[in-house]
Amino acid sequence: MKYKRILLKLSGESLMGTKQFGIDNQRISSYAEQIKKIHQSGHEIAIVIGGGNIFRGVQAEQGGMDRTHGDYMGMLATMINSMALQAALESHGVKTRLQSAIEMKEIAEPFIRRKAVRHLEKGRVVIFGAGTGNPFFTTDSAASLRAIEINADVILKGTRVDGIYSADPEKDTSATKYDTITFDEVYKLGLNVMDLTAFTLCKENNLPIVVFDMDTVGNLEKVLADKNIGTLVSN
């Protein structure tokens, strides 16, 4: 098994499915089914979800709200998404634990690294909510940080596109896809994979990233079966 312990990063927007806001029940159920399949294959799975389908601190700042205040609201949005995915996974018979970077003892455990690792070893899916618990850090940074802390073998970044392209494939038809690329090449070409804080954390800790299309059912399994899906970023 190439990647035993993985951290799956999902965007909040992906949970909207065909909606303009909030959570699409069909989409979250589809994600839960895909996660269940790789869980049954023996992978240890941790998950970080964004909150952009509900609230974004950056957008709030543009509207005149204090950025710190907006970011904390964004962390709460990630907790709503995390609870929704937890419920979907458990309805599919997958045992989960939700850990929050901000104390919410009625609904989630606090983030304790050793406890998270123990849950993974026992075969539970661990969802990390509330980002890093600090404003000015994205959920991509939270994903990188948590992946390093739990000694994950890889970050799987589920997106709407099937990998990293030389330009935005939704806007430029001549854009070409990379199957593999190095961290340094991404810097040099100015490609947008993750924000620089998250990306640099992965580079410095030699943590590979696979960017792939999570919306195509079966892709998550294929990535882990080494079926040349998505783009692998590594040193």
Tokens at 170, concatenated = 């939704």
Render 98-147 in DSSP notation, one character per residue: EEESS--TTT-EE--HHHHHHHHHTT-EEEEESTTSSTT--HHHHHHHHH
Q: What is the pLDDT of residue 60?
A: 83
For 141, the domain range is 5-234
The residue count of the chain comes to 235
Q: Quick: pLDDT tens for 77-94.
A: 999 999 999 999 999 999
Is there a contact between 94 and 32 (Cβ–Cβ < 8 Å)?
Answer: yes
CA distance 36 to 8: 13
Residue 160: the pLDDT is 87
pLDDT grade, residue 226 (50/70/90)? confident
Contact (Cβ atoms closer than 8 angstroms) between residue 58 and residue 137? no
Q: Is the pLDDT score of 61 beyond 90?
A: no
For position 200, which CATH number holds? Answer: 3.40.1160.10
Instruction: Give the separation between CA 225 and CA 1, rounded to whole angstroms.
Output: 8
Nearest-angstrom CA–CA distance, 85 and 91: 10
Note the pTM of the prediction, 2 decimals: 0.96
Place of tokens 């494939």: 169
Q: What DSSP element (H or E) covers 6?
A: strand 5-10
Q: Is 67 exposed, middle or buried (0-12, 13-18, 19+ CB in 10 A)?
A: middle
* Exposed/middle/buried for residue 29 (C-beta within 10 Å: 0-12, 13-18, 19+): middle
Say how far apart CA 206 and CA 151 lie, in whole Å.
11
Decide: helix, strand or coil at residue 66: coil
> What's the total number of domains in the chain?
1
Structure confidence by residue, pLDDT tens digits, 13-54 = 999 999 999 999 999 999 999 999 999 999 999 999 999 999
Residue 62 pLDDT > 90:
no
Structure confidence at residue 115 (pLDDT): 98
Q: What is the pLDDT of residue 233?
A: 98
